[in-house]
Amino acid sequence: MSPEIQLAGIHPRSEKLIELTRSYERAKTSWNQVEIQLEQETRELIKLQENLSFKHVSDGALAWQDQLRPIARSLKGVESGTRYSRWFDTNTFYQKPIVKGKISAGDTDPKNFLQTELLTGERNRKITLPGPYTISQLSENKHYENYPDLLFDVALAEREIIRRLRNEGVSLFQLSEPCLVYQPYRESFRDQSEVELALKAIRSMVEDNPREFVVQTYFGDVARLLPKLLDLPIYGVGIDLFETDISSFGEHPAKAVVLGVVDSRESYVEDPRWIADTARKFCDQVDVQELVFASNSDLKFLPQEIANQKLEALSKASELFEEGR
């Protein structure tokens, strides 16, 4: 069977939708105009995934302003300030959550997370959420004296939000944890005890429904951490192939691998033959139970046309991969 293809996060908006959104923020355009364009582009993206034979379909989170905001606004004890921080080493920014009280799940409106009405008929729905460690790392803590208390309250609250989204037909949850592998934003790098805390928090979220979760890492080398991630009760692990040294992998227990084999920060569209060949070399070295092709992170950093071409390249590469096995 050919490798599955998946969206790995937020898909880019068109220039028209970006301009409409900016115009709305300046009170020059009605929200109705933005909604019409947003719905049109979401339908087009869903149709593209169907045409490319995606098994799990996402709405692309085109309505999300940044990777953290929907979940931050669904948490009690968290406020949205006016401070914006750079999203790792990209040219995009996120609104920094401010923790001012004990965190718990607040009122969760599924419409803030996915456009359920546009996914009607799609039985296998996927959504990408920031993992609890990344949320806690990228928030400003003004309440908790002990970091573990913050981390595990985030995990408990996110677990409840996921339960509610599961009721909306979501069958695959990607927990994005770039902070596990990329931390130049910190004055001191995390130690092993903090890694163990992060993994324990993730485990507390996924252990009851292991087949529903993928933990995705990006913007850093996951090689040293991979054995511990593969030990989690999850369906699969996501790897940023542009940052990870696979020569140091060795053999690991079989598990699904989401191979981030197209670069979300590079406008060059990868050749499907190169993608297929790279995936074969990866499988020759690493014991893979199941393989998924994806971008290494959100494609939102690229023009929409380029992002769509990268999805098409992944689809063609999936066919070539199977032919060459």
The angle formed by the CA atoms of residues 208, 213 and 219, to the nearest 5 degrees, is 140
- Supply the pLDDT for residue 188: 65
Cβ contact 214:175 at 8 Å: yes
Nearest-angstrom CA–CA distance, 269 and 310: 6
What pTM does this model have?
A: 0.94
Nearest-angstrom CA–CA distance, 312 and 318: 10
CB atoms within 10 A of CB 285: 12
Angle separating helix axes 147-166 and 192-206, nearest 10 degrees: 30
- Supply the pLDDT for residue 83: 86
- Supply the pLDDT for residue 322: 81
Nearest-angstrom CA–CA distance, 81 and 74: 14
41 HSE (CA, 13 A, CB side):
23
- Supply the pLDDT for residue 254: 67
Q: How far is CA 152 from CA 14, 31, 127, 130, 303, in A?
A: 37, 37, 22, 14, 37
Amino acid at 144: Y
Question: Going along 106-169, which residue ranges are E strands?
Answer: 125-130, 140-141
For residues 96-114, b (16+ Cβ closer than 10 Å) or e, as one string? Answer: bbbbeeebebeebebeebb
Nearest-angstrom CA–CA distance, 8 and 200: 23
Nearest-angstrom CA–CA distance, 77 and 71: 12
Structure tokens that stand for 87 in this block: 């999203």
Of the candidates 283, 237, 242, the residue with the CA atom closest to the CA atom of residue 261:
242
Per-residue tens of pLDDT for the chain, all 325 residues = 689 999 999 999 999 999 999 999 899 999 999 999 999 999 999 999 999 999 999 999 999 999 999 999 999 999 987 889 999 989 899 999 999 999 999 888 888 999 888 987 777 999 999 999 999 999 999 999 999 999 999 999 999 999 999 998 999 999 999 999 987 766 666 778 999 999 999 999 999 998 999 999 999 999 889 889 999 999 999 999 999 988 877 666 668 999 999 999 999 999 999 999 999 999 888 878 899 999 999 999 999 999 999 999 999 999 999 886 6
Q: Are strands 140-141 and 213-216 parallel, antiparallel or unpaired?
A: unpaired
